[in-house]
Structures are given as structure tokens and as C-alpha cells.
Amino acid sequence: MRDNHGDWRAHARAYREIRGRVLALGQTMGVQTTASVITLMRGDDMVAVPASSTSAWAFEPTVLESGSNYCAEAVNAVDFARATGPVRSVLSVHFPGDYGDDHAAGVKAATAANGMTFINIKTDPGADRQSGAVDAILARRPDLVVLAVNPAETAVIVQGAAAGGFPGRIIGAGPSWDPELLR
């Protein structure tokens, strides 16, 4: 076991330390950290299970995914919404980077496949930085909003949209949810 402390350099150093002495990695934390050694892993035929959900892992022969990736999760969200009511336009509110951009790519693919309008809104982390996302929802009035943010941002966005009279539906990616939101 090695702790990469969320640092890709530490992760690469740790991988080099154990290289040739293990058959597989039961878990490798993070997208950037895993990506920092993916070329070495391919060359070593090292099997790994990343604790991250980027769709990039679907194209890596030595990576075993441990759940649905963000892109597929987003496609499923749009498909679910379409199956439960009319959806003509979908607004994706997401963080920049591997989590949010991957999720937004799934929303975009699903809307394109179903002839829907896709609206893309990137937002920065921070509950106090969501006024632009709320304003976009209220101005555009999409049938569906799909979030790829964290729970603190979800709370602010949903409350702001509801307070502004938004009548549509909102679905969040797995990391956007926390049971505390029910309070």
C-alpha cells in the first residue's frame, strides 16, 4: 500500500517502487494520478482498478472499471428523463476537468442522439460561485438540468432555481449527491 496524497508525482514514484513486485493494483486513486503511470502499466501488463470514473478507462486494456463512468451516467440520466416525460432541451452544469467535462460529453451525446437542444454551462467549484449557473437555468428554462458538481453546489443551484420559479427537472451525477441535501 502506498499513499499518493493526491499527487501524480508521488503516485508515479510509488508505482516505480512496486513495479515488477505485484501482479495487480486493487485500487489506484484518481484520474491524473493513474494517468501519470498508464503508459508504464500498459508496458508492464499491470491490471488496475482506478478509484475514478472517467470514460478514458474504457479504452485502457489493463484497467478494470469499478462502476459506470461519468459519460455513461450522463447518457443514462438523459435517457431516464426522456422516458419519464418530454425533454426538448437539456442544460449541463458542470465543473471543468475530468469529472465535469466527461459528464457533459455524455449529456451532449445523448441530446444529439435524441434531437434535443444541448446547453453547456461550466461552473467553478464553490457554493458562493453558482449565481451564473442559476441565472443560466432561469434564463434558458430547459426541460432538464443535469449537474456534475459537488453537493454544496447542488444545494445552491437547486435552491436558487426553485426560488426563481424553475419548473423543470434536475438530475445530478453521483458525486453531486449527499444525504444532507434532504435537510
Reported as a single tens digit per residue, the pLDDT across 79-120 is 999 999 999 999 999 999 989 999 999 999 999 999 999 999
What local confidence, expressed as pLDDT, does residue 82 receive?
96
Residue in the block written with cell 456534475 = 148
- 150 CB contacts (<8 Å, ≥6 apart)? 95, 125, 175, 176
Find out whether 70 and 56 touch, Cβ atoms under 8 Å.
Answer: no
Q: pLDDT: is 83 or 183 the higher one?
A: 83
What local confidence, expressed as pLDDT, does residue 3 receive?
80
Cα 51 from Cα 103, distance rounded (Å): 16
Q: Is 8 exposed, middle or buried (0-12, 13-18, 19+ CB in 10 A)?
A: middle
If DSSP codes are grouped into helix, strand and coil, which group holds residue 152?
Answer: helix
Q: How is residue 128 written as a grid cell?
A: 458562493
Q: pLDDT: is 144 or 32 the higher one?
A: 144
Reported as a single tens digit per residue, the pLDDT across 14-62 is 999 999 899 899 888 888 888 899 999 999 999 999 888 889 999 999 8
Q: Cα dist. 43→5, 23, 37, 39 in Å?
A: 25, 13, 10, 6
Average confidence (pLDDT) over 149-154: 97
Query: Across the chain, what does the average pLDDT equal?
Result: 93
Average confidence (pLDDT) over 7-18: 90
What local confidence, expressed as pLDDT, does residue 26 receive?
86
